């Protein structure tokens, strides 16, 4: 089954340029994102969904996690589990697997592109990191915030790039701080060690030099996941940060950067 159809997705998007490309360009894009291989994997596990599907995909790619600080996961999972976005896909799979194994049910706040994978729809609340999110996404977000479910989140919203001469997250969005306070949710910091390939960052630097706004390097993320096959990914979980920590001594934006620094300090 063709679960992911790059040509159809681009043609039905909001971009006039991407929706009117020659066929050979669509074919090229499909090869970059490894459309055929991804569709084979999705067909293989079509009867699984949610955390069960995540576990199967982690097994498929032979992703192994070396986790330090697992004892810091609180018994009450009604928290925000926030992490740096080192990889783009492997980290999303592993944080969902780790939190899902501990607490069972959870919600994952991620790019709306994950909505293209039907097996993930029960877990994912898709947000548009480049524009305003649709109203139904905002309603789903508020419903999740008010629930007792665990919520995993990459507050930068984008995969780590070169920021201040280091490969790390840019500024984190303040939303999780605001919602932690109003929803009385503690925050659990999680650090993923590692990075993507040199090609990923080379394309990023190249498009910045030529003032290209489109995030061309994102097309490599499926390929980056395949490159992680069989690797051991190191993860460190820090101690929960009580929501009462986020007082009025700093703005919510400043607190978000403080938590980001705490993640990298791990």
Q: Which domains does the chain have, with CATH numbers?
A: 67-265 (3.40.1130.10)
Predicted pLDDT of residue 130: 46
In Å, the largest CA–CA distance within the chain is 56
pLDDT band at 137 (very low <50, low <70, confident <90, very high): low
pLDDT band at 144 (very low <50, low <70, confident <90, very high): confident
Q: CA 169 to CA 260: how far, in whole Å?
A: 8
pLDDT digits (tens, 9 = 90+) for 38-66: 889 989 998 999 999 999 999 999 999 99
Whose structure tokens read 């060690």? 193
Predicted pLDDT of residue 5: 78
Instruction: Compute the C-alpha angle 26/30/32, nearest 5°.
Output: 115
On whether the CB atoms of residues 154 and 84 are closer than 8 A, the answer is yes
DSSP class of 232: E
Predicted pLDDT of residue 115: 63
Residue 216 has pLDDT above 90, yes or no: no
Segment among 129-133, 148-152, 208-212, 232-236 with least mean pLDDT:
129-133
On whether the CB atoms of residues 3 and 53 are closer than 8 A, the answer is no
Q: CA 189 to CA 245: how far, in whole Å?
A: 14
Mean pLDDT of the chain: 88
On whether the CB atoms of residues 59 and 166 are closer than 8 A, the answer is no
Which three-class secondary structure state does DSSP give residue 231?
Answer: coil
């Amino acid at each position: 089954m063709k679960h992911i159809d790059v040509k159809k997705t681009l043609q039905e998007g909001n971009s006039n340029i991407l929706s009117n490309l020659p066929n050979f360009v669509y074919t090229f894009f499909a090869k970059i994102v490894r459309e055929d291989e991804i569709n084979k994997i999705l067909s293989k596990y079509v009867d699984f969904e949610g955390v069960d599907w995540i576990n199967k995909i982690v097994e498929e790619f032979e992703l192994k996690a070396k986790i330090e600080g697992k004892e810091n996961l609180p018994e009450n999972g009604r928290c925000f589990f926030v992490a740096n976005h080192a990889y783009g896909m492997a980290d999303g799979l592993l944080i969902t697997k780790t939190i899902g194994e501990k607490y069972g049910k959870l919600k994952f706040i991620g790019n709306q592109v994950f909505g293209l994978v039907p097996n993930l729809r029960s877990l994912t609340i898709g947000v548009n990191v480049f524009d305003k999110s649709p109203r139904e996404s905002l309603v789903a977000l508020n419903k999740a915030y008010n629930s007792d479910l665990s919520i995993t989140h990459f507050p930068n919203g984008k995969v780590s790039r070169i920021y201040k001469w280091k490969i790390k997250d840019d500024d984190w969005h303040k939303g999780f701080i605001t919602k932690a306070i109003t929803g009385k949710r503690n925050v659990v910091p999680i650090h993923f060690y590692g990075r993507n390939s040199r090609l990923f960052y080379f394309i990023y630097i190249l498009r910045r030099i030529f003032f290209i706004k489109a995030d061309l390097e994102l097309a490599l993320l499926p390929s980056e996941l395949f490159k992680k096959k069989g690797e051991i990914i190191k993860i460190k979980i820090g101690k929960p940060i009580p929501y009462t920590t986020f007082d009025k001594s700093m703005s919510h934006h400043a607190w978000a950067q403080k938590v980001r620094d705490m993640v990298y300090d791990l």
